């Protein structure tokens, strides 16, 4: 699927200066999309992200800032982004602590960025998609949108909320557009362990228990929950997001697709 089927389309990927978001942005760009990069980072890191999306083949790549904890900032971001054909809500934050010890401020911030921001971006993007007869919303939820883990109360609550919110939006816009145009779909991708810089310290900590063997460290880490004992690569999440943007995916709608090596199969 290396064709440029997204030529002329515009995509916004939140949290796309690194990790999964950057991989998704590059994958959409390789299919010919104009890509709006968003997220945190130094000026150099942002410039590098834009450049890597261009080098992947994007028709254009530009960065837009926006504090996703602030609804007014989201309004500005979406207004500056303009008419969107594809919206990928990837940005998210995490804080782990037992429920009774979770700071209230962390609860509020995680819910704001991981859930409320998804509502606000969809609220602003979907009507225009419906008018044009084509739209794709891909919400990067998490395996924690399907199951729970200890010490992650706000994250799990937010990701479960994203799955439910996406189903509502899918129902409301399902009849818009047609097969030829591609229609409007809203889906969630629910990754388990993904090999990103954020998880590398956990891998290294486990590897130390196996004489520095990184692969053994990965198997040790994943053995608790991910039966495949293999991590997903960010580019593989990008490939799935890209497929969801194809016209042929017009009837895959309201789904929460686990990419978790069997974690949620039990």
The residues annotated with a catalytic role in the active site are 155
What tokens were used for 108? 């509020």
3-state secondary structure string across the chain:
CCCCCCCCCEEEECCCCCHHHHHHHHHHHHCCCEEEECCCCCHHHHHHHHHHHHHHCCCEEEECCCCCCCHHHHHHHHHHHCCCCEEEECCCCCCCCCHHHCCHHHHHHHHHHHHHHHHHHHHHHHHHHHHHCEEEEEEECCHHHCCCCCCCHHHHHHHHHHHHHHHHHHHHHCCCCCCCCCEEEEEEEEECCECCHHHHHHHHHHHHCCCCCHHHHHHHHHCCCCCCCCCECHHHHHHHHHHHCCHHHCCCCCCEEEECCCCCCC
How many degrees, rounded to 5, is the angle at CA 231 between CA 225 and CA 236? 130
């Amino acid at each position: 699927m290396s064709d440029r089927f997204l030529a002329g389309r515009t995509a916004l990927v939140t949290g796309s200066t690194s990790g999964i978001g950057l991989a998704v942005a590059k994958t959409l760009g390789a299919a010919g999309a104009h890509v709006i990069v968003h997220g945190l980072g130094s000026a150099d890191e942002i410039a590098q992200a834009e450049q890597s999306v261009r080098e992947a083949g994007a028709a254009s790549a530009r960065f837009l800032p926006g504090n996703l904890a602030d609804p007014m900032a989201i309004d500005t971001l979406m207004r500056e982004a303009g008419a969107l054909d594809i919206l990928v809500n990837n940005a998210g934050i995490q804080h782990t602590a037992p429920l009774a010890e979770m700071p209230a401020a962390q609860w509020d911030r995680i819910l704001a960025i991981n859930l409320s921001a998804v509502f606000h971006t969809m609220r602003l993007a979907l009507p225009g998609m419906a008018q044009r007869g084509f739209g794709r919303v891909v919400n990067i939820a998490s395996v924690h949108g399907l199951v729970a883990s200890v010490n992650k109360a706000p994250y799990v609550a937010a990701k479960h909320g994203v799955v439910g919110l996406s189903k509502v939006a899918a129902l409301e816009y399902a009849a818009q557009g047609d097969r030829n145009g591609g229609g409007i779909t809203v889906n969630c991708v629910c990754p388990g362990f993904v090999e990103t810089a954020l998880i590398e310290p956990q891998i290294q900590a486990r590897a130390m228990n196996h004489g520095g063997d990184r692969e053994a460290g990965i198997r040790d880490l994943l053995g608790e929950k991910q039966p495949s004992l293999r991590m997903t690569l960010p580019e593989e999440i990008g490939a799935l997001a890209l497929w969801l943007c194809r016209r042929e995916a017009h009837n895959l709608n309201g789904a929460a697709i686990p990419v978790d090596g069997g974690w949620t199969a039990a």
